[in-house]
Amino acid sequence: MKKKSIILCFVLMLVLLPSYFIKEAFTVEAQEQKFEKKITLTGMGEIISVPNVATISLGIETISENLELAQNENKVKINKLIEALLEYGIKKENIKTTQFNVYEQWDYSSSRKRIGYNVTNVLQLETSELENLGNVITLATKNGANLFHNVAFSIKEKDSLYNAALKKAFENAQDKFYSLIGADATINNIQIIEEPQYSYTPMYTTFEKAASYRDDNFLLAGQTPIKAVVRVIISY
């Protein structure tokens, strides 16, 4: 009888022991999950750069009582202008038409009467030789350009600069974590949950101001910021 009792106790131990270890393991895992914390932070990064590309918007306007004459005159003048720009050194792929419009002109002084047609052709030029910007504008004016919109200054390498700003934003989020939680805290995982579109705004100037630039006094005032923002979840 005593022997049977010992055997029975041994069997019960074999049955209950695994459940005990499973319970202990579950308790430890639950404790680990319980103590894992998360925090959501926003990081910001900014790179300041000097524009190195100028985009000039200019064109030709012709007016005539006859539509065909207005169109033909405009065509001749715009071709002359493009030829002059190509000879100067502006590449063909950096010259494109952005607007071509035909308007009727009306006289409303006494009675509504059509008096002619207005044809406009606007070109967009791109150049990286900012020191020669004044010369390009003067050349265009001498070769028939009589429509002047603006000059936009931009950065050619904006994508790579944005990546640098994005890296700074990521590092900024980590710096905030250590400032809030403590310098000795350990980061287990970082998950980027949002990367808004980056901020980049080209600089614009009026054509009258740009036309006053020359090789000996050309100044490009100001700088262009490229900004990046990220939201992250940091587990620690």
CA dihedral 161, 163, 168, 173 (to 10 degrees): 150
Residue 221: per-residue pLDDT: 44
Strand order in the sheet with 95-107: 95-107, 113-127, 53-64, 147-154, 203-206
Architecture of domain 53-154 in CATH?
A: 2-Layer Sandwich (3.30)
Residues of the chain with CATH 3.30.70.2970: 53-154
Q: Give CA separation, 225 vs 44, 57, 154, 203, 221, in Å.
A: 12, 23, 11, 10, 13
Please enumerate in sequence order all residues whose Cβ is within 8 A of that of 168, keeping only pairs 6 or more positions apart, or say none.
45, 46, 47, 228
Q: How far apart are the first and last CA of the chain?
A: 58
Query: Is beta strand 203-206 parallel, antiparallel or unpaired with respect to 147-154?
Result: antiparallel
Q: How confident is the model at residue 80 (pLDDT cuts 50, 70, 90)?
A: very high
Reduce the DSSP state of residue 198 to 3 states and report it.
Answer: coil
pLDDT over 50 at 33, yes or no: yes
Amino acid at 199: S
How high is the pLDDT of residue 59? 96
Q: Is residue 8's pLDDT more than 70?
A: no
Instruction: Please report which confidence band the pLDDT of residue 57 belongs to, taking 50, 70 and 90 as the band edges.
Output: very high
Residue 34: band (very low, low, confident or very high) from pLDDT cuts 50, 70, 90: low
Q: Model confidence over 101-130: pLDDT tens digits?
A: 999 988 888 778 888 999 999 999 999 988
Per the model's pLDDT, the better-predicted residue between 118 and 24 turns out to be 118
The Cα 221–Cα 213 span in angstroms is 12
CATH class of 37-50+158-235: alpha beta
Tens digits of per-residue pLDDT, 124-175? 999 998 888 889 999 999 999 999 998 888 888 888 999 999 999 999 999 9
Residue 78 pLDDT class (50, 70, 90 cuts): very high
| Mean pLDDT value of segment 14-39 | 56
Q: Rounded distance, CA 101 to CA 78, Å? A: 14
Q: Which segments of the chain belong to CATH 3.30.110.170?
A: 37-50+158-235
Mean pLDDT, range 55-72, rounded to an integer: 95
Say which residues have a Cβ less than 8 Å from residue 130's Cβ, sequence separation at least 6.
51, 52, 54, 153, 218, 220
